[in-house]
Amino acid sequence: MSEVLTLADDGVLIITINRPEAKNAVNRAVAEGVAAAMEELDANDALRVGIIKGAGGTFCSGMDLKAFLTGELPMVKGKGFAGFVESPPKKPLIAAVDGYALAGGMEVAITCDLLVANSKAQFGIPETKRGLAAAAGGLMRLPRQIPPRIAMELALTGDFISAQRGYEIGFVNRVVETPAIDGALELAHKISANGPLAVRVSKQVIVESRGWSDAEMWAKQQEIVGPVMTSQDAREGAAAFAQKRAPNWTGK
Classified as helix, coil or strand, 27 is: coil
Integer Cα distance of 153 and 139 in angstroms:
11
Q: Are 74 and 42 in contact (CB under 8 A)?
A: no
Catalytic residue chosen out of the listed positions 32, 40, 72, 127: 127
Catalytic residue selected from 21, 32, 107, 153: 107
Half-sphere exposure of 118 (CA within 13 A, CB side): 19
DSSP designation for 246: -
Can you tell me the distance from the alpha carbon of 222 to that of 114, in angstroms, rounded to the nearest whole number? Answer: 25
Query: C-alpha 10: how far from its chain's center?
Result: 19
Instruction: Determine the Cα–Cα distance for residues 158 and 145; give it in Å rounded to an integer.
Output: 17
* Residue 168 annotated among the catalytic residues of the structure: no
The strand pairing partners of 176, in sequence order, are 118
Q: Does the annotation mark 127 as catalytic?
A: yes
- Pairing between β-strand 122-124 and β-strand 161-162 as defined by DSSP bridges: antiparallel
One-letter identity of residue 130: R
User: What CA–CA distances, in Å, run from 216 to 130, 208, 228?
Assistant: 43, 12, 20
**Which residues, including other chains, have CB under 8 Å from residue 36's CB and lie 6 or more apart?**
4, 83
* Residues annotated catalytic, as ranges: 107, 127
